[in-house]
Every structure is written in C-alpha cells, then in structure tokens.
C-alpha cells in the first residue's frame, strides 16, 4: 500500500458513481494524481470543500486496491470559491489548470509549477485582469516545459503578441480590467493557448469559453 502526505491544489473535478467525485490534483512532491472523494455528493459530506476547483489543502493520501488514491484527514489551506464567483476569472483559471494537466500529467515532483499556479491563484483573487494573469502563467508554463519563445515586447502593447511579451517581462503585475486591456488580454490568451496546443499536440477545451465573456 502506498501512502504519503502532501500539499496539493485541485485542477479538475468530475463526477464518479452516485455519491463520489474524482479530483485531479497537482501536488508539491508527488506530481499529478487522481483522488477519489467518497460520499462528497451527500448533503452533509465533510469533503465538500475539497471537491471545489482550485481548493488548496494538505492531506494524507492512501492507495489501496482501487485505481485512485483516497484522502485521509484533509486540512483546507484555502478554498477555491473566490475563483468560481466571476465567470472571467473562472475561465482564466480553468484554461491554466487544463494546460497544467496537459503539460505535466505524471508523478514527478513539480514544486515549481505548484508555486507558479498558487501565484496565479493569488493574482486572480486580487488583480483586475484575469486574462492577463493567465497569459503570464501560460508563458511561464511553456518555458518550464521547454517550449520557450520570446515574444515582441512593448511598454504599451497593442497586439496579442506584444501583450505576451509584456507578460513575459513583467509577470504577475496588477493590470486594470478596462475594456481595451481585457479585449487585448483575451486575444493574447487565445494566442498563447494556440501556441500551447501546437507544442503539446493537444486541444484545450476551456479555450472555447474565453470568447463567451468578452464584454
């Protein structure tokens, strides 16, 4: 029986059986793995906060006879509710989470990516332009994954490529969410998602939601 204790963040949640859910998580020392949250659909289930996308928690994980790990004595560090209240923010976080799963998807330690994703979560909660924050994360994720490309930089970006160059240089700085910057960031996020899809030869379903909240 394999067991370990680790910090992890929930990147994806899906239904499983009548009362259970599966959570795909990114951990500090054990990479990406799937946790079965048993009975979480029941009204008074204690594990409900841990079945929330982008919840960050510490727990012991045990692998018995089943295909998925079981969580024991979890302790919530921060819930993911703030990222799910606004549709633009949720979309930006979902794109980043899906890209992370596609880029990693193994049991190797990825503490650097976990720290980067937690920085994104913090930025999405407190800064104004969620699409820009996701662009900054995606650029760093591509770099960590070995697909670095230097985008054209401008202090006053006017094209998606220049917006990505700005994100590469400045990272998670505060960007106000006015109409012009949001539209440019939206187009930049779609652009870098295209770069990601070409690099990893995989489609990102979350990209389809980006244009839904363009206004």
Average pLDDT over the chain, rounded to whole? 91
Task: Note the pLDDT of residue 161.
Answer: 97
Confidence of residue 174 (pLDDT cuts 50, 70, 90): confident
Residue 148: is its pLDDT beyond 60?
yes
Q: What whole-number distance in Å separates Cα of residue 166 and Cα of residue 198? A: 22
Residues 27, 89, 143, 59, Cα dihedral to 10° = 0
Q: What whole-number distance in Å separates Cα of residue 100 and Cα of residue 96? A: 6
Across the range 118-126, mean pLDDT stands at 93
Q: What whole-number distance in Å separates Cα of residue 109 and Cα of residue 96? A: 18
Nearest to 118 by CA among 77, 169, 74, 167: 77
pLDDT in tens, 6-57: 999 999 999 998 889 999 999 999 999 999 999 999 988 899 999 999 999 9
Say whether 42 sits in a helix, a strand or coil.
Answer: coil
Task: Note the pLDDT of residue 215.
Answer: 59
């Amino acid at each position: 029986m394999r067991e370990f204790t680790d910090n992890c963040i929930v990147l994806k949640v899906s239904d499983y059986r009548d009362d259970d859910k599966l959570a795909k998580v990114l951990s500090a020392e054990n990479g990406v793995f799937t946790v079965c949250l048993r009975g979480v659909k029941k009204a008074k289930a204690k594990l409900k906060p841990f079945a929330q996308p982008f919840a960050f928690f510490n727990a012991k994980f045990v692998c018995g006879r089943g295909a998925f790990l079981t969580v024991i004595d979890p302790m919530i560090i921060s819930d993911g509710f703030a990222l799910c209240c606004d549709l633009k923010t949720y979309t930006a976080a979902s794109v980043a989470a899906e890209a992370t799963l596609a880029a990693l998807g193994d049991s190797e330690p990825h503490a650097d990516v976990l720290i980067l994703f937690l920085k994104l979560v913090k930025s999405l909660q407190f800064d104004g332009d969620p699409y820009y924050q996701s662009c900054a994360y995606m650029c760093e994720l591509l770099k960590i994954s070995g697909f670095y490309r230097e985008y054209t930089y401008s202090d006053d970006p006017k094209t998606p490529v220049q917006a990505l160059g700005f994100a590469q240089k400045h990272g998670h700085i505060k960007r106000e969410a006015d109409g012009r910057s949001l539209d440019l960031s939206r187009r930049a996020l779609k652009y870098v998602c295209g770069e990601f899809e070409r690099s990893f030869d995989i489609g990102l379903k979350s990209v389809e939601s980006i244009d839904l909240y363009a206004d």
